[in-house]
């Protein structure tokens, strides 16, 4: 029997472009991501990306990695997993809430988020 210490990657993607309003949202503790196929009217407010791994659903206790920075996931909205899987869309909110404010939200610990750029890596790994 073989065991591995590698965490289960639930979602992995690479940012392909960052909308002009994203830095302002990030300073407010919010990051909106959307798959590359997002309607043009959303491009200014989100980080577009190309999903590479989508395995199972995101759960509280999982860890979001934005490049080299990690954040504990505290709550997952009722449609967040469906939106992430189907559209590559979710709103990460660093608000410390254990109840997602909106159905598509994933709430994180209340700490500053890093700015993303083209080529940034976004990963969600299962709680260990």
Partnered with residue 40 across adjacent β-strands are none
**Are 116 and 47 a contacting pair, CB within 8 Å?**
yes
Is 43 tagged catalytic? no
- Point out the catalytic residue in the list 43, 49, 89, 117: 49
Strands (E), the chain: 9-18, 30-35, 47-54, 63-66, 69-76, 90-94, 105-108, 121-125
Catalytic residues: 49
């Amino acid at each position: 029997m073989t065991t591995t210490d590698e965490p289960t990657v639930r979602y992995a993607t690479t940012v392909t472009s960052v909308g002009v309003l994203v830095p302002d949202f990030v300073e407010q503790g919010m990051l909106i991501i959307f798959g590359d196929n997002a309607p043009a009217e959303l491009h200014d407010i989100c980080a577009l990306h190309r999903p590479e791994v989508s395995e199972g659903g995101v759960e509280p206790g999982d860890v979001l990695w934005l490049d080299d920075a990690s954040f504990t996931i505290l709550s997952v909205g009722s449609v967040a997993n469906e939106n992430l899987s189907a559209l590559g869309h979710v709103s990460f909110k660093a608000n410390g809430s254990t109840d997602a404010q909106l159905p598509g939200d994933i709430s994180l610990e209340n700490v500053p988020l890093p700015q993303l750029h083209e080529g940034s890596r976004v990963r969600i790994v299962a709680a260990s």
